[in-house]
Structure 1
Amino acid sequence: MQELFIQSLKDKFENPTSFAHEIAEILDIGYDAAYRRINLKTNLTLEESVKLAKHYNISLNKLFEIGNKNSIVTELSSPINDVEGLEQWIKESTKHVIAVKKVKNAQFIYSSKDIPVFHTLTNSLLTRYKMYVWLKDLNIEMTKSKITFDDWVKTIPSSLLKSAFELGEIYHHTNVIELWSDNTVNGSIQQVLYYFEAGLVSKESALQICDDIHDVITLVENKTINQSINGQNNSLSFMLYKCDLQSLSNTIMVITSYGKVFFSPFTVLSYFKVEHKETCDMMHEFLQKLMSNSKLLTTAGERDRTLFFKKVYQKISIAKERINMGDKMLYI
């Protein structure tokens, strides 16, 4: 296994005579120690293998495929413990997908258990509220704290918002396929109601966040209708599927002429990045099956499209009614 990995590294190296010197420099070890590893007299540690793989852009999956074809190596996103960690996560996510803006015919496929995160990264109160909710879930101090959203929102660093807007903007420069269900909007609505009823979000903010969710749905509806009317005349395509059969997962697949990669949820925001070709092909095939069993609202009749969005809008209206009733319920 190590022999094949070392050979993969050598194939990337133009000057074999100085190979040991470069390995020593990368691993910060002596020349003799590097030579022993190259000649298989000393085993590479996992940490050393990762360093070399990153430096030479070699997939560690090559090592695992030899012994067990059911084992692959994935990359876990950075942990989020505070505001700085959230900003780092956003910047890291941007690096993963920024290339799609430059690649012709690149495509996102988004299995939307919740409203796709890219839609919520705009200059809106919804964006700021999402950050509050994420940190409430991920930061121990925030979880214990009784700080309200209306107080916390005043402390958001401008650099965090800028990074979020940059990530959200990427989504508008590529072809997109989204799979939604009747429940896709539920999570966002429930978050608003939960923190409002807990007294951590003011009535005014809660209603504004609901309006922002409404705006997101309107944007998605307009994109769907425009694709239906203009068809292939649009420079970028947007296709929305209504999935009734399978549960959706917030999995994101990016497809370019260079290959496929997908991001599978781990916790609230963290994800596994999977580049293993065979696994990516399996995920793509699964998503294709989901689409084949779903209704493409872009080409569906006006009735089906209208009914779907009407139901979503009704959920938002009901949430606003519940928020407005909140004040009255206090006096019962």
Structure 2
Amino acid sequence: MFQEVLIQEVGKNVKKETSIIEAVATALDISYDAAHRRTSFKSKFSLDESIKLAQYFNISLDKLFGTSTEKYVSVSRTTSIKNEYDLQEYFETSYNSLLPLLDRKDCEVYYSAKDIPLFYTLKNNKLSSFKMYVWLKLLDKNFRAYKFEEFSPKLSTLQSAQKLGDLYKDLNTSEIWDVTTINSTLKQIHFYYKAGQLSLKDSLELCKELKELLDDISKKVVSKKHKFKLYHNELLLMSNNVLIITPEQQSLFVPCAMLSYLNTRDKETCLEAKQYFDKQFYHSRLLNTVGEKEQNQFYYKMMQKIDALCDLIKAQDLLGFE
């Protein structure tokens, strides 16, 4: 019964010009004859092969094992991070799992940006190092005493991070922001400055790089070279959900802890997520098509927040945190 259901589901996801045997052989990297024996029920799929086929053809494991209901879907979870080694592994694992989806020209990405999207902060600059510093301060119990100026990420960590960040370049991307999207980063800069773990100079440089990031995003909005859409929604309570869609597969990432995501490829769940995104787009302003005045107002509000933080830090430095 299980074998028959699996073959049926594979058949639904195979292109018309490809036979099921060829598709199974490609997915499992086995010979045509070995695939024929399995599809003709002369031999059985192993559990590993079944999972591999389900992942390759985006088939719900719940459906295969007869546990599918409207209330339950299968999800995978990223591993927890406890130190810099885990952080580097997180970057590498994320890259390997996202590459088959994001490397396609027909890929579409939808991002509900409660915070600045992770991919923007994976570069070789001070802001990227600071974000790693914050993550490790919160996740690594042995990292508490470190000041930012004492933190120097390993070259391998920086390379893994930048490799993941580069995946996000020039994609067909639709993001939903509000002027509050930068609040978390601003609070982190202020918090660690007041805690005496971030110098005045570094604090101001981080604010400068944050402005440069916003400026880069504003240029992408008006550039015709990028398939990038930026929506402004003042009412949506965003949650850093990410939806990735290709003609054959879809994948939804929902945050469950810092840098930790639950991931599902369940078609119905991803379809509902897409419909929700569409509703939010409808109630948002697409900055790519509004006038220059509205675009400038959006960026100006965030720039004002950054300037206000710079002024506050400078004043507190003069007063000695009084």
After TM superposition, the score normalised by the length of structure 1 is: 0.82
What is the aligned partner in structure 2 of residue 196 from structure 1? 193
Give the 3 Å change call, closer, same or farther, for CA 299–7 of structure 1 in structure 2.
closer
Give the 3 Å change call, closer, same or farther, for CA 61–321 of structure 1 in structure 2.
same
Q: The residue matched to 2:251 in structure 1 has which SS? A: strand
Structure 2, unpaired ranges of 5+: 11-23, 25-34
**Structure 1 residue 148 corresponds to structure 2 residue 131:** no
What is the aligned partner in structure 2 of residue 214 from structure 1? 211
Q: Distance in 2 between matches of 1:327 and 1:186?
A: 21
Give the 3 Å change call, closer, same or farther, for CA 83–53 of structure 1 in structure 2.
farther
What is the aligned partner in structure 2 of residue 326 from structure 1? 316
For 1:237-316, list aligned pairs within 5 A.
Answer: 237-316=227-306
Q: CA deviation at 1:7?
A: 5.0
Aligned residue identity for 1:131: M
Output one character per residue of 1:278-330: Cα deviation in whole Å (capped at 9) or x when no partner.
Answer: 00000000001010000111101111111110000011111111121222121
Q: The residue matched to 1:210 in structure 2 has which SS? A: helix
Aligned residue identity for 2:311: E
Q: Distance in 1 between matches of 2:118 and 2:258?
A: 12
What is the aligned partner in structure 1 of residue 6 from structure 2? 8
- Comparing 320-329 with 6-15, greater Cα deviation is found at 6-15
Q: CA deviation at 1:237?
A: 1.0
**Structure 1 residue 183 corresponds to structure 2 residue 205:** no
What is the aligned partner in structure 1 of residue 163 from structure 2? 166
Aligned residue identity for 1:148: K
What is the aligned partner in structure 2 of residue 39 from structure 1? none
Aligned residue identity for 1:256: T
Give the 3 Å change call, closer, same or farther, for CA 201–278 of structure 1 in structure 2.
same
Aligned residue identity for 1:304: E
Q: CA deviation at 1:9?
A: 7.0
Aligned residue identity for 1:322: L
**Structure 1 residue 118 corresponds to structure 2 residue 145:** no
Tell me if structure 2 keeps the 8 A contact 1:120–1:168: yes
Output one character per residue of 1:130-167: Cα deviation in whole Å (capped at 9) or x when no partner.
Answer: 0010111112222xx211011022xx110100011111
What is the aligned partner in structure 2 of residue 103 from structure 1? 104
Aligned residue identity for 1:115: I
Give the 3 Å change call, closer, same or farther, for CA 274–68 of structure 1 in structure 2.
same
What is the aligned partner in structure 1 of residue 94 from structure 2? 93
Tell me if structure 2 keeps the 8 A contact 1:76–1:270: yes
Tell me if structure 2 keeps the 8 A contact 1:132–1:152: yes
Give the 3 Å change call, closer, same or farther, for CA 7–105 of structure 1 in structure 2.
closer
Q: Distance in 1 between matches of 2:159 and 2:190?
A: 27
After TM superposition, the score normalised by the length of structure 2 is: 0.84
Q: Distance in 1 between matches of 2:272 and 2:158?
A: 36
Higher helix fraction: Structure 1 or Structure 2? 1
What is the aligned partner in structure 1 of residue 30 from structure 2? none
C-alpha root-mean-square deviation of aligned residues, in Å?
2.1
Q: The residue matched to 2:185 in structure 1 has which SS? A: helix
Structure 1, unpaired ranges of 5+: 24-48
Q: Distance in 2 between matches of 1:318 and 1:184?
A: 16
- Aligned residues: percent identity? 27
Give the 3 Å change call, closer, same or farther, for CA 4–330 of structure 1 in structure 2.
same
Aligned residue identity for 1:105: D
Q: Distance in 1 between matches of 2:141 and 2:36?
A: 49
Q: Distance in 1 between matches of 2:319 and 2:65?
A: 60
